[in-house]
Amino acid sequence: MALKTCIACGMPMGRPADFAMGDVTREYCVHCARPDGSMQSYPEKLRSLTAFIVRTQGLDERAAETGAAAMMARLPAWKDHRGKG
């Protein structure tokens, strides 16, 4: 399978289990999907990415949030986001 990259977090998706709902036609990954399969919103993704950085790298929460926002700004799903909810 050609390697796709999640449009919402940048994670490479190499196996069906990496895709939202295991559906390889989706553009986003299992970590960026809500339980119903729809893609998380910007605030939801910012919150979860910030929590991931705090948990795994131990950064101060505000620094982690700035880092998460900087990472998200480079991704296709959020490129046009300008502080919208």
- Which residue in 37, 2, 36 sits closest to 28, CA to CA? 37
Classify 44 as helix, strand or coil: helix
Within 65-84, which residues bind another protein (CB under 8 A)? 66-67, 70-71, 74
Can you tell me which of 35, 58, 83, 85 binds another protein, judged by CB under 8 A?
Answer: 58
Here's the x/- map for another protein, 1-40, by CB under 8 A: it reads as: --x------xxx-x--------------------------
Closest-CA residue to 38 (of 30, 46, 50): 30
Query: Of 55, 60, 61, 79, which lies in the binding site for another protein, with binding defined by CB under 8 A?
Result: 55
What are the E-state strand segments in 1-85?
Answer: 4-5, 12-13
Closest distance between another protein and the C-beta of residue 49, in Å?
8
